[in-house]
Amino acid sequence: MNYKMIGKFTSLILMAEALFMIPALIIGLCLGEKSAISFLISIGIIFAVAVPLWLIGRKTDRRFSARDGFICVGLGWFMMSLGGALPFFISEEIPHFVDALFETVSGFTTTGSSILPNPELLSRSILYWRSFTHWIGGMGVLVFLLAIVPLGGGNQGFTMHLLRAESPGPEVGKLMPKMRQTAAVLYSVYITITILDIVFLLFGKMPLFDAVCTAFGTVGTGGFGVKIDSLASYSPYIQTVTTVFMTLCGVNFSCYYLLLLRNFTSVLKDEELRLYLGLIIGSTALIAINIRHLFPWNEAIRHAAFQVSSIITTTGFATTDFDLWPSLSKAILFALMIVGACAGSTGGGLKCARALLLFKGLKRNVSQMLRPNKIKTVRVNERTVDEKILANTNAYFATYILILIISFVLVSIGNDFSTGTNFSAVVSCFNNIGPGFEAVGPTCNFASYGVFSKCVLIFDMLAGRLEIFPLIILFSPKAWTSK
C-alpha cells in the first residue's frame, strides 16, 4: 500500500479545505464577528496537520492501486470532516464536538440534517461555512483537486481510482481523455449552475447572503437553509426557481457536457434521465391529487413539485411540513428517498441508474426462470451492460440494505423514538436527504439523539455519500496490512 501517496492526498484535501475557509473568514472579519477568530485558529490547526503529512508524502512513487484510491477517499473525507467541524466547535456556537461533527458531515455529504433548533441564531460567517460545506461536498473535493493540482507529467492512470471512489454511480467514466480536463469540465458546469441559481434568486428579491447560501444548498443538493422554516417563508417565485435548480442538479453532469457538444439525441434518449424525469412528473401528479384537500390547486402542485424534487435529488429543503400530508404522499416520498438522483450528479440515494439496472436484471432473471436456456443481455441506452457491472450493482444493493438494517438497529439503542422516526432518520441520513418523518420531520431536528446514535448517523451519511465501499474499507483490517 502506498501510505505516502495517501498522506499526500490527505494533506492536499486538508489544504484545500483551509483555502475554502477563507471566504467565511473574510465575511467574519468584514462583519466584525467573534467567530472570525475561530476560522483563523481552524486554518492554523489544519495546516499544522497538513504540512507534516505533505512532507511525508512529498517524494513518492506512483504505484497506486484501487484499494489505495478507496482508502484515500475514505480517510480524506473523514479528516476533512474533522477539520470542518473545528470552526463550529471553537466558536462555541455548537458546544459539543460530536454535534459539530454531525453538522459538518451533514454539510459535506450534502445531507442537510441538522442538530440546530434554530439556524437563525448562528453568526453569519458560521452560517456561510455551514452552507458552503454543501457546495464543496457536492461535486467532491478530490475532483476539485484533480482539476487544479498539477500532478506532474508521467502516467496518471491512478487518478481514475480516485474519481471512481469519489463519484457516485455504478459506472464512472471520463468525459475527456485527460483526468484534469474531465474534472475541470465537471467543475465549470457546477460553477455555472451555481452562478445562474444565485442570479435567478436575486431576481426574486432574495437578500444576497440568503441567495448565496440557498444556492449552495440547492446546487450541492444539500438542504441547509438559513431560516428556521427552510424555504417556507420565501416567495413562490423563489420556491419555483429552487425546484428547477434542484431538478437540474439531480441530472448526471455528463448530460450537460453532451449538450455543450450539441449531442442532443443521446441526452434525450438517455434512459436514466427519462426514468428520473418520469418519476418526478408522476410523483408530483400523484401527490398533488392526494393533497388537493389541503391547498388550492396551484399551491398543491407547487408544494408537490417542490417536495418531490427536493426528496428525489436528496436535497431536503421544505416549503411546508410534509409530515402532515396523507400517508400515500408520505409513502411516495419515502420511496423516492431510496431511489435518489441520477448517477454522476450531486445527489445521493441509490441512484436511478442502479434502480434501472436492478429492475432490468430482475426482469432477465424472471424470463430466464421460465426459459432456462435463454441467453439475454441487459441493455441500457442501446448498449449491452457488462456482467461485472450488473454483479457490482447487485452487491451494492445487498450491502446497502444490510447497512440500512444494521444502522436502524444501532440508532434505536438508548432512545424512545418511534420505529418510524428511527427508520426514517437512518434512511434520510444514509441517502443524504436531511429531514425524515415524525420526530425528525421537516420542522424538527436531530438534536435529541444520543451521542452513539449520532455517531452511527455520521457513519451513514459518509457511507451514503461515498457509496459505502471507501468507508467500509477503512474498517477492514485487511485493507491496512501491506502486502
Identify the burial level of 73 via C-beta atoms within 10 angstroms of its C-beta, where 0-12 means exposed, 13-18 middle and 19 or more buried.
buried
Q: Which residues pair with 383 in a beta bridge?
A: 380
Nearer to another protein, 154 or 372 (CB): 154
232, containing H or E segment: none
Q: How far is the CB of 230 from another protein (least distance, A)?
A: 41
Contact pattern from residue 321 through residue 350 relative to another protein, giving x for each residue in contact according to CB under 8 A and a dash for the rest: ------------------------------
Restricted to residues 236-295, the positions that interact with another protein (CB under 8 A) are: none
- Nearest-approach distance from CB 174 to another protein, in angstroms: 5
Q: What is the closest distance, in whole angstroms, from the C-beta atom of residue 160 to another protein in the complex?
A: 5
Question: Closest distance between another protein and the C-beta of residue 448, in Å?
Answer: 46
Say how many residues make up the chain. 483
Residues 138-197 that bind another protein (CB under 8 A): 152-161, 173-174, 176-181
User: Any residues with CB less than 8 A from the CB of 461 and at least 6 apart, and which?
Assistant: 105, 106, 109, 111, 113, 429, 430, 432
The residue among 182 and 407 lying less far from another protein, judged by its C-beta, is: 182
CA distances from 316 to 58, 70, 244, 262, 309 (A): 41, 28, 14, 32, 9
Residue closer to another protein by CB (options 56, 160) is 160
Other CB atoms within 10 Å distance of the CB of residue 403: 19
Residue placing its CB nearer to another protein in the complex, 61 or 416 = 61
Q: How far is CA 254 from the centre of its chain?
A: 17
Contacts with another protein in 60-79 (CB under 8 A)? 66
Which residue has cell 490527505? 10
Report the C-alpha gap between 410 and 125 in whole angstroms: 35
CA distances from 398 to 337, 412, 468, 483 (A): 17, 22, 11, 29
CB of 193 to another protein, least distance (A): 24
Amino acid at 92: E
Name the residue among 41, 282, 17, 65 with its Cα closest to residue 165. Answer: 65
Backbone phi, psi, residue 91, to 5°: -75, -5
**Least distance CB 163 / another protein (angstroms):** 10
Least Cβ distance, residue 2 to another protein (angstroms): 14
Question: Which is nearer to another protein, 88 or 158 (by Cβ)?
Answer: 158
Alpha-carbon span 37 to 40, nearest angstrom: 5
Separation CA 431–CA 217 (nearest Å):
16
Of the pair 96, 174, the CB lying nearest another protein is at 174
Residue 120 or 386 having the CB closest to another protein:
386
Return the C-alpha cell found at 392: 457490482
The C-alpha cell 457536457 sits at 257
CA–CA separation, 145 vs 13, rounded Å? 7
C-alpha cell, 40: 483563523
Contacts of 44 (CB under 8 A, 6+ apart): none
What minimum distance in Å lies between the beta carbon of 386 and another protein? 6
Helix, coil or strand: residue 408: helix
Answer yes or no: are the C-beta atoms of 388 and 171 closer than 8 Å.
no
d(CA 286, CA 328): 9
CB neighbours (10 Å) of residue 369? 9
Q: Does position 357 bind another protein by CB under 8 A?
A: no
DSSP code at position 142? H
**Smallest distance from another protein to CB 109, Å:** 27
Q: How many residues bind another protein (CB under 8 A)?
A: 20
Smallest gap from Cβ 181 to another protein, in A, equals 8
Instruction: Tell me whether residue 156 or residue 399 sits nearer to another protein (CB atom).
Output: 156
Provide, rounded to whole angstroms, the least separation between the CB of residue 180 and another protein.
8
Based on the shown chain and the rule CB under 8 A, indicate whether residue 445 belongs to the binding site for another protein: no
User: Half-sphere exposure of residue 65, counting CA atoms within 13 Å on the CB side?
Assistant: 8
Q: CB 138 → another protein: shortest distance, Å?
A: 24
The answer to the question of residue 386 lying near another protein (CB under 8 A) is: yes
Q: Which is nearer to another protein, 2 or 329 (CB)?
A: 2
Q: Rounded to a whole number, what is the largest CA-CA distance in the chain?
A: 74
Least Cβ distance, residue 192 to another protein (angstroms): 22
Cβ proximity to another protein: between 177 and 296 the closer is: 177
Name which of 66 and 228 has its Cβ closer to another protein: 66
User: Cβ closer to another protein: 157 or 414?
Assistant: 157
Q: Which is nearer to another protein, 66 or 404 (CB)?
A: 66
Using CB under 8 A as the criterion, which residues of the chain lie in contact with another protein when the complex forms?
A: 66, 152-161, 173-174, 176-181, 386
